[in-house]
Amino acid sequence: MNDQTLSFFARLALAFKVFFRIIANQEYAVRVSGLGTDKRPAPVRPTSFKEAHPDSALQLLGLLQQDGRFIDFLEEDVTGFSDTDIGAAARVVHEGCRKAVREHFRIVPICSDAEGSRITLQEGFNASLIRLAGNVVGKPPYSGSLVHRGWRVTEVSLPKIADGHDVRVLASAEVEL
């Protein structure tokens, strides 16, 4: 279809569609901004995805259950318990889960500054490590208040899985005789 075959109302409808797509999709807006000029932006490469294997996630859930009774806590209907009882249970779950996570992961903050402190982000900052929030306009440098330091895993040491072990079994059922 070319613009010679579009009626005025078809072009008007297209203009509205493009307008809202530009507002909603930054990559599309960048591509449109280069139309009609000699300086077109570099083509945006499609994002490639790799399939995540669930075994490690299931193994982690099993460790959190084993050390902190995490699944038991989540699956419990707590509506009938007092806040004090829930808090006491949460303390036990927190201690066990924290132990499991610290035993198998080295987790460090992304930003070393204290939350609430003012920081400046220079051009070229890593947007996968730092997410901007609020009224983001213009180009870096950006100055703002650190709301959350972020976390990054620097080391993982999950136990090896024995052949034949079903990682989907997070906790075996127990029968007392």
Residue 73's SS3 state is helix
The pLDDT of 56-69, averaged and rounded, is 93
**Averaged pLDDT score across all residues of the chain:** 88
Give Cα 44 to chain centroid, integer Å. Answer: 22
Strand positions, DSSP E, 39-150: 105-109, 118-121, 142-145
For residue 151, the surrounding DSSP H or E stretch is strand 151-156
Count Cβ neighbours within 10 Å for each residue of 119-152 and write b for 16 or more, e otherwise. eeeeeeeeeeeeeeeeeeeeeeebeeebeeeeee
For the cut 80, the answer to whether the pLDDT of residue 85 exceeds it is yes
Q: How confident is the model at residue 24 (pLDDT cuts 50, 70, 90)?
A: confident
pLDDT at 2 over 60: no
- Tell me the mean pLDDT in the region 109-120: 95
Does the pTM surpass 0.85? The reply is no
Residues 6+ apart with CB under 8 A from 149: 109, 110, 111, 112, 113, 115
Quickly count: other Cβ atoms within 10 Å of residue 117's Cβ.
10
Which range of 19-33, 49-63, 84-98 scores highest in mean pLDDT? It is 84-98
Both tokens of residue 66?
């084993």
| Residue 20, burial from CB neighbour count under 10 angstroms (0-12, 13-18, 19+) | exposed
Provide the residue ranges of all domains of the chain, joining segments of one domain with +.
1-49, 52-104+159-171, 111-149
Task: Give the pair of three-digit tokens for residue 148.
Answer: 């959350």
Could you tell me if 157 and 101 are in contact, meaning their C-beta atoms sit under 8 angstroms apart? Answer: no
